[in-house]
Chain A
């Protein structure tokens, strides 16, 4: 069963992928907030940074 962590915005349980990586972004399916995986053992989420102008490839 996939790990879950609490959404820091709305408190809902957010499921993490089995191969979750620190630094990955997951969406809270309840409130839509983008969350950054800060730790995986145990899973910890924080609000993801806002998009900046120089982001890209």
Chain B
């Protein structure tokens, strides 16, 4: 089945190039849609979506993807990932609540709305603890707070930043990890590939230069990835985990700190033997076939 795959973008990263190449090599048509140039009407889709069978949300700007997936739902155009998944992943508060609700181990987290109540929460967690923006990625604006002095300064700065989201203080326990965390890219909970991201810095994002290496999945991680995926309504996801209780041996367990819904995979593709874009396109083809079958049913 040949598809016309719409790709929402505002910047073509290596990830999008890999996907576009894989789709074209298989004979699929690709329709690149620069969301900066479109207007989304509540009644009908922009002309750019004419003839598109399925859409991939590859928006770099989370806010745009959140809205556009809602519009695509309204238009009845299938989109990866769904508006529901985007909603549950884009906002760290909603993400943490979804994981907790599903019984997936996740770092203890508390939200406060004023500097004073945030300080109380921080003191309750003790030092160090972590303060994160509710929306953001690549480790941007993350703070590991080591002392009350640092807490007071960071909270005061955040209060002055202007946007109301900076006054939603997302405070999390600091998890002692063995110098690395884990990234599993999964499609509807089925792992495609996994890597460890190592750094001397407490932040181990690949975007911040962490070293990457392949990671062999064990049954516990597989189970957690499936449950984390289900908790956010599935889709093509990047599930981030930390190993806990590591004292020179195997970890006692894992905790899932985040699920990403517009996952980047270029680092994973380089770190493993898995052809990640090929596996992703396999899955997209399957999703498109499901959608077509559902539509064809009376």
Which residue numbers of A lie inside 8 Å of B, CB to CB? 19, 21-25, 36-37, 48-49, 52-57
Chain A nearest CB from B157 CB (Å) reads 14
Chain A nearest CB from B244 CB (Å) reads 24
Q: Is B212's CB within 8 Å of the partner chain A?
A: no
B residues near A52, Cβ cutoff 8 Å: 61
Q: Is B100's CB within 8 Å of the partner chain A?
A: no
B residues near A19, Cβ cutoff 8 Å: 17, 21
Interface range, B side: 20 to 34
- When the two chains form their complex, are residues B9 and A23 in contact, meaning their CB atoms are under 8 A apart? yes
Query: Please, which residue of chain A has its CB at the minimum distance from the CB of B262?
Result: A57
A residues near B136, Cβ cutoff 8 Å: 53-54, 56
Residues facing A in B124-143 (CB within 8 A) are 133, 135-138, 140-141
Some 25 contacts from A to B, beta carbons below 8 A apart, are: A19-B17, A21-B12, A21-B16, A21-B17, A21-B20, A22-B12, A23-B11, A23-B32, A23-B34, A24-B12, A25-B12, A48-B11, A49-B10, A49-B11, A52-B61, A53-B136, A54-B63, A55-B62, A56-B140, A56-B262, A57-B238, A57-B260, A57-B261, A57-B262, A57-B264
Known contacts A19-B17, A57-B138; 14 further A-B pairs (Cβ under 8 A): A21-B16, A21-B17, A22-B12, A24-B11, A37-B12, A53-B141, A53-B163, A55-B62, A56-B137, A57-B137, A57-B238, A57-B260, A57-B262, A57-B263
- When the two chains form their complex, are residues B9 and A55 in contact, meaning their CB atoms are under 8 A apart? no
A19 to B25 CA separation, bound complex (whole angstroms): 13
B residues near A36, Cβ cutoff 8 Å: 11
Given contacts A53-B140, A57-B260, A57-B263, contact A23 B135 (CB under 8 A): no
B residues near A57, Cβ cutoff 8 Å: 137-138, 238, 260-264
Would you give the 0/1 interface string for B1-44, flagging 1 where the beta carbon is closer than 8 Å to chain A? 00000000111100011001100000000001010000000000
Q: Which of B10, B11, B17, B135 contacts A53 (CB 8 A)?
A: B135
